[in-house]
C-alpha cells in the first residue's frame, strides 16, 4: 500500500489495475487509462501532479435548456469551478467505511483544508456548494479562510421558513462581502449501507479483496443495502445539472466541497468517463481541482499548485485580471 506521502505526491489520483503509471519527459507523474484504442493520460483527465497544469477542452456538456434557470450565458464570460474532496476525517484515519455517517475532520484534515485554501486563494469564488456532512462543510470554511478576497462564507438556511427568516442579513453592503454556502444532501458521500463503520482492511480479510474492491469501485454494484456509484451519480449529477450549471452559465464562480464518490460521479460526467474508466479514478483528500467553464464547455486545469503558480493565471485573462486586482487591493 502506498504511504500517505506517496499518495499525496501522486496528487489527486492513483490508478488501479486498468491503467499504467509512468513519468513523462518533464519528469512529472502521469497516470494513463487505456480505453480501447485510446490511451487517455491522467493529465487529460485533469488529474495531474500538482505542478502540472496543462489544459484540455472537454466537449460541451448538455446544458439545462429550461428557461426556469433564467441563466443567459455571458457573451465572453468564463467561470471557475473548483472541486475539493474534504480533508482527512476521523474515520479516514481509522480506515473505516464512512459513507453518510457524519464525522468531523482530523487535525491533519484541518491542515489539508487550509492547504487547499492556499492553493486556490487567488481564484474567484462567488458561491460555495457543500454536502450536508460536516467534513465537507469544515473543509469549505477552512479553505475559504485562506482566500485573499476575505469575503465571509455564510451558510444559507432554507430548511424551514423560520430558519430562512431568522438568518436574514439586512445590509446590502455586508451581503456583498459574503459568499453564500449552499448545503445539499445530494452531494453527500455515497451511502455505504451495511459497510458503514466497518474497518476496510478487516472487511477485505473477511469477504475477500476482490469482493470489497467491487463494492468500493465498481460502477453499478452496490455494497449491501447501500448505494452504487451509479445510484450516487443519479442524485449528485442531477443536482449539479439543475442547480450548479445554471450558476456557471450565469457567470458565477463556484466551489464544491464534497466527497470521494459524489465528486467521482461529477468528474465522470464532466470528463465523459465510461463506467470502466471511472473505476480507476481516485481522489485524495484536500486536493482542489480547477475547471474553467466557457461557452458551454468545461476546460480541465488540473490542480493549482499554489497561489503564485503562473500557469493557472497565465491561462485565462480573467483569472490573471482577478489576481492583479487582489494584488492591488491587498499589497
Ligand X SMILES: O=C(O)[C@H](O)COP(=O)(O)O
The residue ranges that bind ligand X (CB under 6 A) are 97-99, 189, 192, 216, 259-261
Of residues 52 and 280, the one with the C-beta less far from ligand X: 280
Specify whether 86 is catalytic: yes
> Whole-number minimum distance, CB 275 to ligand X, in Å?
15
17 burial type by CB count under 10 A (0-12 exposed, 13-18 middle, 19+ buried) = exposed
Closest by CA position to 175, among listed 157, 159, 158, 151:
151
Q: How many CB atoms are closer than 10 A to CB 8?
A: 17
Closest by CA position to 254, among listed 268, 233, 270:
270
> Whole-number minimum distance, CB 106 to ligand X, in Å?
13
Of residues 122 and 137, the one with the C-beta less far from ligand X: 137
65 annotated among ligand-binding-site residues: no
Q: Could you tell me the three cell numbers for 244?
A: 450548479
> Whole-number minimum distance, CB 303 to ligand X, in Å?
19
329 annotated among ligand-binding-site residues: no
216 annotated among ligand-binding-site residues: yes
Of residues 54 and 199, the one with the C-beta less far from ligand X: 199
Give the pairing of strands 297-300 and 288-294: antiparallel
26-54 residues labelled b (16+ CB within 10 A) or e (exposed): eeebbbbbeeeeeebbbbbbbbbbbbbbb
Q: 112, 115, 189, 227: which is the annotated catalytic residue?
A: 189
Of residues 28 and 228, the one with the C-beta less far from ligand X: 228
Q: How many CB atoms are closer than 10 A to CB 108?
A: 16
> Whole-number minimum distance, CB 264 to ligand X, in Å?
8
90 annotated among ligand-binding-site residues: yes
**Residue at shortest CB range from ligand X:** 98
192 annotated among ligand-binding-site residues: yes
Specify whether 189 is catalytic: yes
Q: What is the set of active-site residues?
A: 86, 189
The annotated binding site for substrate is made up of 85-92, 98-99, 135, 189-192, 200, 216-217, 260-261
Amino acid at each position: 500500500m502506498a504511504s500517505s506521502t506517496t499518495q499525496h505526491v501522486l496528487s489527486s489520483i492513483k490508478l488501479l489495475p486498468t491503467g499504467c503509471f509512468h513519468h513523462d519527459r518533464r519528469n512529472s507523474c502521469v497516470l494513463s487509462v487505456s480505453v480501447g484504442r485510446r490511451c487517455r493520460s491522467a493529465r487529460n483527465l485533469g488529474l495531474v501532479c500538482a505542478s502540472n497544469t496543462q489544459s484540455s477542452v472537454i466537449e460541451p456538456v448538455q446544458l439545462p435548456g429550461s428557461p426556469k434557470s433564467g441563466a443567459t450565458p455571458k457573451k465572453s464570460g468564463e467561470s471557475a469551478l473548483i472541486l475539493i474532496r474534504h480533508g482527512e476525517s476521523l474515520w479516514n484515519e481509522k480506515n473505516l467505511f464512512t459513507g453518510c455517517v457524519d464525522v468531523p475532520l482530523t487535525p491533519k484534515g484541518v491542515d489539508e483544508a487550509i492547504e487547499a485554501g492556499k492553493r486556490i486563494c487567488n481564484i474567484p469564488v462567488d458561491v460555495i456548494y457543500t454536502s450536508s456532512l460536516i467534513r465537507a462543510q469544515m473543509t469549505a470554511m477552512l479553505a475559504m479562510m485562506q482566500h485573499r478576497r476575505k469575503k465571509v462564507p455564510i451558510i444559507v438556511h432554507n430548511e424551514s421558513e423560520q430558519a430562512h427568516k431568522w438568518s436574514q442579513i439586512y445590509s446590502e453592503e455586508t451581503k456583498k462581502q459574503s459568499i453564500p454556502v449552499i448545503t445539499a444532501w445530494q452531494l453527500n458521500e455515497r451511502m455505504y449501507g451495511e459497510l458503514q463503520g466497518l474497518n476496510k482492511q478487516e472487511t477485505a480479510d473477511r469477504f475477500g479483496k476482490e469482493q470489497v474492491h467491487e463494492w468500493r469501485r465498481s460502477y453499478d454494484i452496490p455494497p449491501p443495502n447501500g448505494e452504487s456509484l451509479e445510484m450516487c451519480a443519479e442524485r449528485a449529477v442531477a443536482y449539479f445539472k439543475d442547480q450548479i450549471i445554471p450558476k456557471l452559465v450565469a457567470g458565477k464562480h463556484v466551489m464544491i466541497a464534497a466527497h470521494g464518490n459524489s465528486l467521482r460521479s461529477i468528474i465522470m460526467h464532466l470528463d465523459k468517463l465510461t463506467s470502466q474508466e471511472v473505476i480507476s479514478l481516485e481522489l485524495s483528500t484536500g486536493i482542489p481541482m480547477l475547471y474553467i467553464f466557457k461557452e458551454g464547455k468545461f476546460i480541465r486545469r488540473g490542480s493549482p499548485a499554489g497561489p503564485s503558480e503562473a500557469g493557472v493565471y497565465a491561462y485565462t485573462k480573467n483569472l490573471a485580471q482577478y489576481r492583479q486586482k487582489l494584488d492591488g487591493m491587498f499589497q
